[in-house]
Structure 1
């Protein structure tokens, strides 16, 4: 098996999240990215801490490194959007957060989105023309946005790595690291 301990040593990855992110969908990819050598930056709507939702109660908190108002996609090599029902619902109502996501894809940078995180991709208009997976209850929303829905653990298509749910975290993390490592730092990932 290939050693992944330093494959992302020159990458700076943003995780866009706010209160109500699914605990496993932020902490699992974050650990995988850090284990692969990436610098991981938590970007949120507010300063301070944001709190996870874990099944039926509030979970762990994490410190915010930057707010979306004080950051740009140009500062990062790739983006992760964790799910959880509350997290993307808050993000998609914030114009700056939606533009932040859109800018990554317009710059040819890869986005990894899991579960309900795809709602932000739908709101940004960037799901159109792509093949994605997501939590099954969002299938109609995805199709209505002009995307094709595929029921796989992970789908990689046109600059987006998407996954369905926390059960898919291991394969999602593997594909995310592969996707984020395919090009040298600063080079844009082709959309086609």
Structure 2
């Protein structure tokens, strides 16, 4: 699989209060296969993680939302946490970036509370998804089919519930990235 992933770039969109393992684990899995990752933040400044029960490390940003072009990346990762997706789902530039990935048929991976961002971007109707259980009703109300599974894949859209599902999440993210564009991925 590493050869199929050589030269690929993945954007990881996050804000303060992202769940630390939901950024660090996918990033490490991607980099371990030779994929270049960039942390994208709303203002291009470092962001502080939430590490399960308290504040975690600060992560430096590689780019700001203003400096990002979807065409520079092969996939998008959206870490969860409570604060991070709640901030990003109200950011018009973040929502536009998410929609661009869907319109281009590129893989998008969202875990935990990150499907809130997808709901506000208007890209979940008719999709098969999972999330942290507290977001399940929000997804159903937005027209998604919700499943209580460690990972759900629907035409390039990868979703998982919580950090305990990261091994499955990372595996499917790598698989979808290796497959490339998905014609049934849609906004």
Structure 1 length normalisation: TM-score? 0.93
Matches within 5 A, 1:74-93: 74-93=71-90
- 2:54 pairs with one of 54, 57, 70: 57
**Structure 1 CA distance for aligned equivalents of residues 65 and 45 of structure 2:** 13
**Structure 2 CA distance for aligned equivalents of residues 5 and 12 of structure 1:** 13
**Structure 2 CA distance for aligned equivalents of residues 92 and 142 of structure 1:** 14
Return 5+ residue gaps in structure 2 as ranges. Answer: none
Return 5+ residue gaps in structure 1 as ranges. Answer: none
Matches within 5 A, 1:10-29: 10-29=7-26
Aligned residues: 185
Divergent runs of 4+, >2 A: 4-7
Structure 2 length normalisation: TM-score? 0.95
**Structure 1 CA distance for aligned equivalents of residues 34 and 10 of structure 2:** 11
Matches within 5 A, 1:1-192: 4-183=1-180, 188-191=181-184
Root mean square deviation of aligned Cα: 1.1
